[in-house]
Structure 1
C-alpha cells in the first residue's frame, strides 16, 4: 500500500503523520475543512496534495490504497459515508502509524494531562543530542528542530561521555506524544493504546476532555489500558505527585517503575536565581541543569526525561548538558513582541492547572510587574464549562483578567465573580481587544492563553499598542 489519503490532515497529529509517511516513501494526499498556516505551508512544501472539504467526489480523484481517518471525521460526513458504502479500506491514524512506523523502532511515549508536548520535545532533543537515531511526532513545533515530525535520523558516533552503558547494537528510537483523546469514530479507545511503548512517561493525570470522558475514572481506565501494553523489560516513569496515577497503577503494573518528584526517586534539588537546578536521585545529587526555562512544571518535565533516557543508556550528565540547550516549544510562554515597554506572550495553556502554572511561572520572572491574563476558553472541555469552578483560583495571581466569551455558552461573568474587581468579559472581539489595549501600561506583561489561533490577537495587540500614546 503506497498511496494513503488522510481525512483530517490539517491537525497537528495527522499533519505530522503525513510528513512521516511522505518521508517513508508513501504517496500522500488528504483533505480537511479548512487549511491554515503553518500546517498548510508545511504540507505544500512536502508536496502533499490537499483537498478542501469532505466531499465524496474526491474519492474518485484520490484513489488511495487506504484511507487514514482522523478523529475529526464523524458519521454523516459525505466522504466517510462513501468510504463505508463502497467498502473501501480505512484505518485510524494511530493504528496506521503503529503498523507502518512505530513497530520498527524503540518507542518512547509521553502521556499525561499537561506537559506532553514540552516533555516529548525535551525527550527527543536529549536523545538526538546524545547521538542516537531519533524520530518523533509531537503536537507542537520544538524549536531545537525545524519540524514537528520526522523518522529517525542516522546515529552519530558515540563518545563515552554520552552513554552510561554499553549498547552493543544501536536501535532506532521514536518519541511520540501519547494523547488520551479517542482514536476515531470507529475506535473509541485512546490514541495511545496503539503505540506499544517500551519506555513510557506518565507525566500527570487530571480530569479533562469532558466531551468524551464522563469522569476521571473513565480516563484512568484508558491510562491503565496503556500500562497493560508496556513490556516487563520496559520502563514506566511515574510522577509521584499525581495521586490519580496511583489509582491507575493500583489496578496492576507489570513494568519496573522510575519515580520522579519524590525523595525515593528523582527529585529537584536546589534551584538558582536563573531557574537552573540540581538533579537528585534517592537523595544524592547526580547533575545540574543550567537553563532559563520558567516554572516548577518544566523542572518536573526535565526530571521525567532524565529518568526515561537512563533506560536507553544516556547518562545523567549528557542529559543535563542537552537540557541546557533545550529551546522549548513554540507557543509555550513564547514572547510574540515588545512594544512601548509592554511584552506580549503566547501560551497554549487551556486547563485550569496549566493556566495557574503558567501565570505562576511568569510571576516568578517579572516580580511585581503587572500581568494581564488574556484567556480564550476554546477547548471542548472549557466550552462546556466543566472546569469553570477552578478558573477563579487559577487566574487569581494575575493583576487583570480578560476573558473572551465568543463561542462559550455558560455564564463566564458569574463563574468568575470572585475576580470581579479585575475582570473584563466580552464576546465582541474588537471591543475585547480595545479593552486590553486601553488597560495596558508601560512595564506590563500581557499573557495570552488559548489552544487555538485566537483570531491572531497577538499581532493585533502589538499593532494597536504601537499606535497608542503611552
Structure 2
C-alpha cells in the first residue's frame, strides 16, 4: 500500500499522535477527515486547515474515503471500522501510516523509550531546524518552537516521536534511533518488563546495519540491548565511560548549564532553559545525534538554548501572589520523581502535588511506587483515575495510593473529587509555594481552571 490515496479518514483524530499525522497529510495534499469522542483545541486547529473533524464515532462518517487509519485507543468493533470493512476500504493502524511517511524520507530520526520521548523529539527537531535541514516533524506534544505538534518540511529529513505502548513500532525502519530509557510500563499491553525489553530487541534486530542507535549509558536494559546490536551504537549519560557525557552541572532557576564531552573531545558549555537533571540527559541525546549528523557545535548550543518546553512538560501556567502553578504530563513513578526533583531545584517554601492517576492497569501495577515517588512533596492531593480507554478494574483506584501514604503518615495526603481541587488550592496556597499538577488525563483542565479562579479571588481582594 502507498500514500497515493486521496481521501483519508482518521478514527481518533484528536489524539496527539494522530493529529500530528493529520497535519502532515493535509500538507501532503490529502483530503483528511476524522472523528473523536471529545472535541479539543487540536481538532479545532485541524478544522482551520480544512479537515472535517467530527465529535463522536458514527458509521455515517465513512463515505467515499480511500483509506481509514485508527489510533491505538480504537477497538475493532468501532462503528467506523466496521463500516469501512463493509465498504472494503483499506484499514491501517497509526503506526503503519507513520511507516509510509517515513519510508518516503531518506534521513529519519525516531525517538522512543519509556520517558522523555516528547522533550527529546522536540529538541532533536529544533536542532535539525536550526541546522537548516528543514525536517518534517511529528511530536507527542505541542511545541512552542514549532507552534504545535507537527511541521511539514520540504527536505528528506524527518524527526518523529515513536509510541511503544502497543508494540506496533517494531515495523519502523529509521536511520537514527534515540532510546531515552527502558523500564516497566504499559502493562495493559506488555506481560512484564521482559516482554517490553524483548520487543525492543526485535525492533533493533530488524534494523539495517547502517542504522545508528543512541541510548542512555546508565540504563541496564539498554546496555544489554545495544551490546547485542549489530549496527553502530552510541551512548550518552553522566559517566565518563559514555560516548557523550555531561559534567560540571550548575542548576539555576529554570536553567541548567553543563559541559559536554563527545568521544573524549570537550565541546564546551551548554545551557538549557528548563529545569530537571533528566532534561540534561535528553539534551545529551540530542548532542550525540548532532555530532553523528556533523552539525556544528555552535548550532547545537543555540538550538538547545532556544528550546522551549513542550506544553504540559513542567509548564508554568500561572503565578499568583508569589506562588507558582506548574502542569506536567508525568504519569509514571519515575517521571513523577523526576518532576518533583525539578520542582525542588527551584527551592519552594512548600511543594504541593496534585496527581490524577492515568489508566487502571498502571495504577494497579504501580500504586506503591506512586506513593514512594509522591512522598518527595510536602503535601499530596489525589483524585480519581482517568480511565483513558480502559474498563474499570476492581480494586484499582487512587484510594490504593492514598491508603499507602496515609498509613506511612509522613506528609499530609488528601483524596478529593476533581471538582473540589480548585477550591481547596484557593484556600491553601501561599507565597513561595509551588503547586505541581500531574497526570496524562484531563487534570490539565483543572489546572487552568484553578489558575483563573484563584487569580479572580485575588483580583476581588485588591
CA deviation string 1:310-361 (max 9, x = no partner) = 2222133321222111112111111111112221111111111110101101
Residues 1:332 and 2:299 are matched in the alignment: no
The question of whether the paired residues in 2 share the 8 Å contact of 1:113 and 1:206 is answered with yes
Residues 1:17 and 2:43 are matched in the alignment: no
Q: Pick one of 244, 248, 271 that aligns with 1:270.
A: 248
What count of residue pairs does the alignment treat as equivalent?
440
Residues 1:412 and 2:392 are matched in the alignment: no
State how far apart, in whole Å, the 2-side matches of 1:277 and 1:100 are: 36
The answer for the alignment partner of 1:391 in structure 2 is: 370
State how far apart, in whole Å, the 1-side matches of 2:385 and 2:197 are: 32
The question of whether the paired residues in 1 share the 8 Å contact of 2:119 and 2:309 is answered with yes
The question of whether the paired residues in 2 share the 8 Å contact of 1:287 and 1:320 is answered with no
Residues 1:91 and 2:92 are matched in the alignment: yes
State how far apart, in whole Å, the 2-side matches of 1:433 and 1:305 are: 38
Q: Pick one of 342, 356, 367 that aligns with 1:376.
A: 356
Q: Pick one of 271, 285, 298 that aligns with 1:290.
A: 271
Give the C-alpha shift of residue 436 in structure 1: 2.6
The answer for the alignment partner of 2:391 in structure 1 is: none
Residues 1:259 and 2:260 are matched in the alignment: no
The answer for the alignment partner of 2:6 in structure 1 is: 2
* Mapping for residues 223-242 of structure 1, pairs under 5 Å: 223-242=200-219
Give RMSD over aligned pairs.
Answer: 2.0
Give the C-alpha shift of residue 452 in structure 1: 2.4
The answer for the alignment partner of 2:35 in structure 1 is: 31
Give the C-alpha shift of residue 67 in structure 1: 1.0
Give the C-alpha shift of residue 175 in structure 1: 0.5
State how far apart, in whole Å, the 2-side matches of 1:438 and 1:420 are: 22
Gaps of 5+ in 2: 387-395
The question of whether the paired residues in 2 share the 8 Å contact of 1:115 and 1:301 is answered with yes
User: Secondary structure of the equivalent of 2:23?
Assistant: helix
The answer for the alignment partner of 2:131 in structure 1 is: 130
User: Secondary structure of the equivalent of 1:411?
Assistant: helix
User: Secondary structure of the equivalent of 1:241?
Assistant: coil
The question of whether the paired residues in 1 share the 8 Å contact of 2:402 and 2:415 is answered with no
Q: Pick one of 328, 332, 340 that aligns with 1:347.
A: 328
State how far apart, in whole Å, the 2-side matches of 1:235 and 1:391 are: 35
Give the C-alpha shift of residue 58 in structure 1: 2.2
Moved more, 288-297 or 442-451: 288-297
The question of whether the paired residues in 2 share the 8 Å contact of 1:111 and 1:180 is answered with yes
The question of whether the paired residues in 2 share the 8 Å contact of 1:392 and 1:419 is answered with no
Give the C-alpha shift of residue 34 in structure 1: 1.7
State how far apart, in whole Å, the 2-side matches of 1:14 and 1:368 are: 38
State how far apart, in whole Å, the 2-side matches of 1:342 and 1:359 are: 16
Moved more, 126-135 or 89-98: 89-98
State how far apart, in whole Å, the 2-side matches of 1:72 and 1:44 are: 22
The answer for the alignment partner of 2:62 in structure 1 is: 59
CA deviation string 1:372-419 (max 9, x = no partner) = 11111124543x421111122211221111111255635232132355
The answer for the alignment partner of 2:390 in structure 1 is: none
Moved more, 195-204 or 102-111: 102-111
User: Secondary structure of the equivalent of 1:71?
Assistant: coil
The question of whether the paired residues in 1 share the 8 Å contact of 2:348 and 2:434 is answered with no
